[in-house]
Amino acid sequence: MQINNSRYASDEFPAYTPEVAVKTQSIFDRLRGVLPDIEWPVHAPYVAAINELKSELNAVILAHNYQTPEIFHGVADITGDSLALAQQAARTDADVIVLCGVHFMAETAKLLSPEKTVLIPDSQAGCSLASSITPDDVRLLRQRYPGVPVVTYVNTSAGVKAESDICCTSANAVEVVESLGVARVIFLPDEFLGRYVAGQTKVEVILWKGHCEVHERFTAEDVRHYKQQFHDIEVLAHPECPPDVLAEVDFVGSTAGMIKHLNDSSSRRVVMITECSMSDNVAVEFPKIEFIRPCNLCPHMKRITLPKILRSLQTMEHKIEIDPSIAEKARRAVERMVAIGRRD
């Protein structure tokens, strides 16, 4: 698709006009109680401009659960976990995908939609976990443990995926490990997720010391504090948290798993031991639940803002490109994982 960038490029600050207020009123109504009213006149002009421009460009906006509410509920067409975002975007007829998340997520979207233009609004939106391992590291591990298959978390670069046998998510990691029918596996790169998996299977799990800088900051003492302060609270945690944290909580699961659990739960007060914005976003869908927010923010996710999303659509920046030889191998590792889910 050919884009006339000059037609859309503008450095003007969009204004909060009566027309913008009308166009965005339904979105604002959903966000009452999550966003302070005083913030909406700042966000609304960008929300209106982005939604108009994405329609003109046949673009689809993906937002991870850790994005701020004005992005997640204001402009996103598809929301959720990183792999699910990429899979759903691949099924659309959009010409352009804007990934509101971090770089490895945009790469995964490009792997599954190689014919589409994939943009990330800030090219510096990285990930401490993805940065903890390189393709060279994987090759060295293969030399050290010859013949042992490599299971790689999707929270990794395309280059690392390309050196792996199969990928996994936090939701299907145990299933993927056991599907290989082997006595031991190399599990990369999240040490805490790997330890959680090891506790759920008889397969020996060889670990790598990679961590998410958000989840590793939580402590068992934090959990005990919440339970002491709020006796009726239910504590949910992501398996990227340290083992002593997981031992104290009521439910362990992926971001999608937490949401499903809340749908099935009768809890009226919840704390989610994960990135802070997820509680804000989920609170919109569960207005009867009181969310106590342990506000650990991901600095990389927060690099994505409404002005950057608008600018990305205006200029078609920043495009995700993956070397075809790497993309082919990385895509194969992802597809092997997806194939497991299709088995009867």
Topology match between the domains 5-125+301-315 and 215-292: yes
The pLDDT score that the predictor gives to residue 11 is 55
Give the C-alpha separation, 330 to 249, whole Å.
35
80: left (phi over 0), alpha (psi -120 to 50) or beta: left
Mean pLDDT of the 208-232 span: 95
The tens digit of pLDDT for each residue in 282-317 reads 999 999 999 998 878 999 999 999 999 999 999 999
Report field, pTM of the whole predicted structure over 0.85: yes
The pLDDT score that the predictor gives to residue 341 is 65
229: left (phi over 0), alpha (psi -120 to 50) or beta: alpha
Maximum Cα interatomic distance, the chain, rounded to a whole number of Å? 66
Query: SS3 string of 280-319?
Result: HHHHHHCCCCEEECCCCCCCCHHHCCHHHHHHHHHHCCCE
Cβ burial of 201 (10 Å; 0-12, 13-18, 19+) is middle
Mean pLDDT of the 240-264 span: 95
Instruction: Report the first-to-last Cα separation within the chain, whole angstroms.
Output: 40
User: Given a cut of 60, is residue 344 above it in pLDDT?
Assistant: no
What's the CATH code, domain 215-292?
3.40.50.10800
Give the C-alpha separation, 57 to 7, whole Å.
12
Rg of the chain over all Cα atoms, to the nearest angstrom: 21
Task: Please check whether residue 129 is in contact with residue 82, taking contact to mean a CB–CB distance below 8 angstroms.
Answer: no
pLDDT grade for 343, boundaries at 50, 70 and 90: very low
User: Given a cut of 50, is residue 197 above it in pLDDT?
Assistant: yes
The tens digit of pLDDT for each residue in 37-83 reads 999 999 999 999 999 999 999 999 999 999 999 999 999 999 999 89
User: Given a cut of 60, is residue 272 above it in pLDDT?
Assistant: yes
Could you state, in order of their start, the residue ranges of all structural domains in the chain? 5-125+301-315, 130-212, 215-292
The pLDDT score that the predictor gives to residue 12 is 66
Give the C-alpha separation, 292 to 14, whole Å.
34
Q: 3-state class of 248 per DSSP?
A: coil
**Hey, what CATH topology would domain 130-212 get?**
Rossmann fold (3.40.50)
Q: What is the residue whose two structure tokens read 């975007």?
A: 89
The tens digit of pLDDT for each residue in 149-191 reads 999 999 999 999 999 999 999 999 999 999 999 999 999 999 9
- The Cα-based distances of 179 to 49, 54, 149, 170, 339 in angstroms read 47, 41, 11, 15, 11
Residue 324: asked if its preceding bond is cis (omega within 30°), the reply is no
Residue 323 structure tokens:
């070397």
The pLDDT score that the predictor gives to residue 174 is 97
CATH 3.30.1330.60 assigned to 5-125+301-315: no
